[in-house]
Structure 1
């Protein structure tokens, strides 16, 4: 027993050697570099200094989203992980401490208060780790997001850009719509409305409308004028409020249109034409002479000084069957001059000889789209001037081919694995002719999509997205039969017979590498 007692005494003496007194309150504590107990250390050092104990959350009641600075609105429910992340990002000073735990403290949902309980650690006073728990209170302030402001401000616009083109189709606007989406030129609009001959863009500020006009002027040939109307005025302060209207008129020409140049304009373009095809539309109009491969750019100012209208347009195209191709002229890029013997796809009783720029693309047995001038009746002043002139040696060709066609593959109506996006437009309310206009709209869209498939250069100017299963199912509802490309109904038997032997191996396909992921669809799926 004496030996055991001696052992206990030595242990107590050993333990007494490792206990010190707190330098503040005198309580015995294990040794530490600060020489203070935990209570005194907390009183001396506040590791939460620099972290606000209250803050503000901006909440949009219209769309139930919270503002994550600087300008991101996040969809979040009460006491959700998303809301907790927004709250933590609102607190400054958290980067200087170690966050151990974070969670919500229950509050009444209608109290407009959100409380978050935080546990943090920080090194204090000579390698001493201190842990502390505290509560941060957030005040919920109501604020409308930019999207909801635009919806609410449809009737409070300050400036409008009215874009018009006097043509019976919407192909130019479909292409212009894709350029606007790619460059984000519509981000400042408060409303977009589709009207009979174009689109109206409404803005809350005049500078945004001017920026839109400058963008349009850089991508399409146009002319514009400005007008203003006074809303209110203050004679005492010499101030007034105005509404501004910018009227923009696009050149009434579209890709693949057939144009007859007046003699004066033909001379200005280096004796081009007179029958030319519109090959490309940018800030100028590029024209191609299919009989000589000459190319000239018609500038915007030059066009409005000598305006011309198309002799024929895409709706007048007729499908032709290629019988023979003879290359007998120069080459220029992807074009090559050739003499081609063709016959209408629904009538092989008569053949025509056409001079065309498609020598590199056409082979015997192919199909092409072109204008039938032999059976057409034109009443055009520019064309009449050549026939009335005695010195003119101009003769009207029978056929002018425009581009290669793929009728067999079209009839299979395979849904595309890609799609394009559209602007959120309000359609004009019209009581009569809705079905006919819807069919015309679908036809114009189909022609535009085919242009994207067949022209790689045009395709590179827009954004194409991968189509989901739902998108493909919607595409199958719009059959390709709505677009006849000018074909007559009498040639189905001949074409079906030829389809069994021909496969159209050079049918334009869009590679998956050219497509972008639809981020909006992925976001909805994640939610």
Structure 2
């Protein structure tokens, strides 16, 4: 007889002639354990004729609902019960032999746990203090706030109990109370594990953070200032930079933003915030900067100095659509590019293209500021031309992600049709006979550029076309709203004092910037355009022809305007 014992209560017997196979199954063995045992022993102990017998016997390991379908008799399994040693109630056995009520009456696992705590809250910037001096911003009833509050209790909880669950309880927003319900677990008498709820109430104390307290004492008080400047006759760069700042939340820590001649001033309550902002501007524009500091106060006893820091940041005067005559040294370093080139894109580097050969070169900030130069003509000097004839010279090619085609065109100024010019352009894929284009008039211009005088025998073209013009179609559509809108920074602008021309100039520049966004998809790539809820599509008819001719922003690129969105959520303050 062969005996195999897996547990203390089950064994298997098999006759010497392999003709008898019996299993003694006791109720104390789980059916799932018996079923696994039978499947394991099937290929070892039983030849193939006895597989059917094994299948019948293994039915004992099935669920009660499946056992009834086999027609066999199975003993009823009843879980064991004991009496509570204190109150005598029937219960399932446990190491303490006591029911839950008696255990809780004798042992309080929440003893020593705090039931009330204090959390400091800054009402001005909606941030919470994480001792000793770090402020974190959270939304009310958010998972981040719950994790922050539980972490405050973790040091005292971890020595006594194990935390298994946490959730907020409803409190009135104005009650200055935050309640959280915890479920804690702890080992009690003779190894029994007891779990019960525990409520902790946080009392919210209002306390201004360092930056807000300084602002309350003196709204003009700041520690670091960033003076952003670009010495050009327009503000197109700052309009685009404003949208980048809003998109990335780069100025959320600014105490104040003020308008200044040729730029903007950003004031911060911390030097580190100003450094972050300067790094952001350096990543999106070719800049150079220098720093300075001024002593405000000094405590000789503690040897503490308080300074005001100033960052003077200068942006390159080269802008998109500028016409440039490269200095000979720069042109030679770029592979004899140009010398007459146009700027097609400005980011942390400058993209230059020869409009007559479609050669492209990239100039980073270090290369530019080592040999700086200024544009020959800027976008405010563009002149409108009419296309009289066009003859493509080459096929359409893609250069730097944009499509171009070299072509010869006959053009005449809209203000003077007596002179007709034949020039070479890179806009052959956009222009057709009868269209209008904006370009630089070199025939009637008198450029005063020292770099141009260094090129002996340089012959300038009569004009350089820059882009297609939609002025006539826009004039027919004037007064109608667009399907998108832009957000603006809260900039303090000094009163113009009756200079109405200055306000009109700013409005015109903003409208030109909006038109550039519609015409150039690359400009819209890194900024956020929001849906205009007040937009109403124009009526059918002549407006359809204008809509097909004038570039517009697709609806797919627009995002919903969420007024309650806080870009700086979860960031720390110093």
TM-score by length of 2: 0.67
1:257-296 alignment, distance < 5 Å: 257-296=322-361
- Give the conservation status (yes or no) of the 8 Å contact 2:296–2:307: yes
For residue 42 of structure 1, give the secondary structure of its aligned residue in structure 2: helix
Shift of 1:357: 0.9
Q: Deviations over 1:211-236 (max 9, x none)?
A: 33333333322222222222223455
- Give the conservation status (yes or no) of the 8 Å contact 1:329–1:338: yes
Shift of 1:256: 0.8
1:91-490 alignment, distance < 5 Å: 96=163, 102=169, 114=177, 136-144=200-208, 148=212, 151-152=215-216, 154-235=219-300, 239-329=304-394, 332-333=397-398, 334-345=403-414, 347-383=416-452, 385=453, 392-411=456-475, 412-413=477-478, 414-427=480-493, 429-460=494-525, 462-470=526-534, 472=535
**1:53 aligns to 2:119 (yes or no):** no
Separation of aligned partners in 1, 2:312 and 2:325: 28
Separation of aligned partners in 2, 1:218 and 1:84: 36
Separation of aligned partners in 2, 1:316 and 1:100: 64
- Give the conservation status (yes or no) of the 8 Å contact 1:59–1:142: yes
Gaps of 5+ in 2: 1-80, 567-574
Shift of 1:21: 8.3
Separation of aligned partners in 1, 2:433 and 2:524: 28
Shift of 1:273: 3.0
1:2-17 alignment, distance < 5 Å: none
| Corresponding residue number in structure 2 for 1:484 | none
- Give the conservation status (yes or no) of the 8 Å contact 2:185–2:193: yes
| Corresponding residue number in structure 2 for 1:5 | none
More displaced, 251-260 or 261-270?
Answer: 261-270
For residue 180 of structure 1, give the secondary structure of its aligned residue in structure 2: helix
Shift of 1:274: 3.3
Separation of aligned partners in 2, 1:107 and 1:319: 61
For residue 523 of structure 2, give the secondary structure of its aligned residue in structure 1: helix
Q: 1:227 to 1:146 in 2, by over 3 A?
A: closer
For residue 211 of structure 1, give the secondary structure of its aligned residue in structure 2: helix
- Give the conservation status (yes or no) of the 8 Å contact 2:214–2:221: no
Q: 1:139 to 1:327 in 2, by over 3 A?
A: same
For residue 519 of structure 1, give the secondary structure of its aligned residue in structure 2: coil
| Corresponding residue number in structure 1 for 2:562 | 519
Shift of 1:338: 1.0
For residue 313 of structure 2, give the secondary structure of its aligned residue in structure 1: strand
Q: 1:151 to 1:445 in 2, by over 3 A?
A: farther
- Give the conservation status (yes or no) of the 8 Å contact 1:121–1:129: no
For residue 324 of structure 2, give the secondary structure of its aligned residue in structure 1: strand
Separation of aligned partners in 2, 1:275 and 1:263: 11
| Corresponding residue number in structure 2 for 1:72 | 137
Q: Deviations over 1:51-81 (max 9, x none)?
A: 63112243334477878998334369xxxxx
- Give the conservation status (yes or no) of the 8 Å contact 1:276–1:288: yes
| Larger Rg belongs to | 2
Q: Deviations over 1:472-512 (max 9, x none)?
A: 59xx9xxxxxxxxxxxxxxxxxxxxxx99965736433233
| Corresponding residue number in structure 2 for 1:509 | 552
Q: Deviations over 1:135-168 (max 9, x none)?
A: 6443232223688468547544222221111112
For residue 243 of structure 1, give the secondary structure of its aligned residue in structure 2: strand
More displaced, 318-327 or 183-192?
Answer: 183-192
For residue 244 of structure 2, give the secondary structure of its aligned residue in structure 1: helix
Q: CA RMSD in A?
A: 4.6
TM-score by length of 1: 0.72
Separation of aligned partners in 1, 2:194 and 2:349: 71
Separation of aligned partners in 2, 1:192 and 1:323: 49
- Give the conservation status (yes or no) of the 8 Å contact 1:408–1:504: no
- Give the conservation status (yes or no) of the 8 Å contact 1:257–1:311: yes
- Give the conservation status (yes or no) of the 8 Å contact 2:163–2:184: no
- Give the conservation status (yes or no) of the 8 Å contact 1:416–1:467: no
- Give the conservation status (yes or no) of the 8 Å contact 1:64–1:75: no
Q: Deviations over 1:97-146 (max 9, x none)?
A: 67899565x9996xx6x4859697989999x9999787644323222368
Shift of 1:403: 0.7
Separation of aligned partners in 2, 1:395 and 1:73: 64
Gaps of 5+ in 1: 1-18, 77-82, 477-498
For residue 364 of structure 1, give the secondary structure of its aligned residue in structure 2: coil
